[in-house]
Amino acid sequence: MLLQTVRSNIVQSIRAYRVEDLMLAAENASQHFLYANLTAAQSKQEVLDTIAESFLFPVHFGKNLDALYDCMTDLVHKAGSQPGFVVVLEQLPDNPRFDREAREQLLDVFRDAADFWAERKIPFRCFYSFQ
């Protein structure tokens, strides 16, 4: 029910949603739930490392934004039919080592992934919060 109130293929602030509710909604909709708690990450590299570890990316993950996009799109698409995705990036850093520009670049990757899945009519919702 919760996912019906959130537009498909969007990247947005988590705001009033709770992680647990999003996880249950993804489960009820038989969609993938991808969660990364970034509280300990302070730099772009640490953010990418944490996402890669949390999302169980392959060992050969290049740990850059292009590789992140590839893992969120092509790699998964080639794995077969997909039911949809609910992604949560909790506590993105807000400091000089990961400034607003770095956050926007990261979120742009998820926006591009949302567009990729929208073209294939697969729901992709990404929620984020800041430290």
Which residues constitute the domain of residue 33?
A: 2-130
- The CATH number of whichever domain residue 19 belongs to comes to 3.30.370.10
- Report residue 1's pLDDT band, with 50, 70 and 90 as the boundaries: low
Q: What angle do CA 86, 49, 11 make, to 5 degrees?
A: 30
pLDDT in tens, 14-62: 998 999 999 999 999 999 999 999 999 999 999 999 999 999 998 888 8
**Main-chain dihedrals φ then ψ at residue 18, nearest 5 degrees:** -100, 145
Question: Residue 130 is inside which H or E element, if any?
Answer: strand 124-130
Among all chains, which residue has been given the structure tokens 């899945």?
117
pLDDT of residue 5: 81
Within 8 A by CB and 6+ apart from 5, the residues are none
Name the pLDDT band for 93 (thresholds 50, 70, 90).
Answer: very high
pLDDT grade, residue 108 (50/70/90)? Answer: very high
Predicted pLDDT of residue 119: 95
Written as six digits, the tokens of 32 are 């993938």
Q: Nearest Cα to 124, choosing from 106, 107, 111?
A: 111
The number of folded domains in the chain is 1
Task: Give the rounded percent of residues in the chain with a pLDDT score beyond 90.
Answer: 81
Q: What is the C-alpha to C-alpha distance for residues 117 and 131, in angstroms, rounded to an integer?
A: 28
Helix (H) and strand (E) counts in the chain = 5, 4
pLDDT (0 to 100) of residue 77: 67
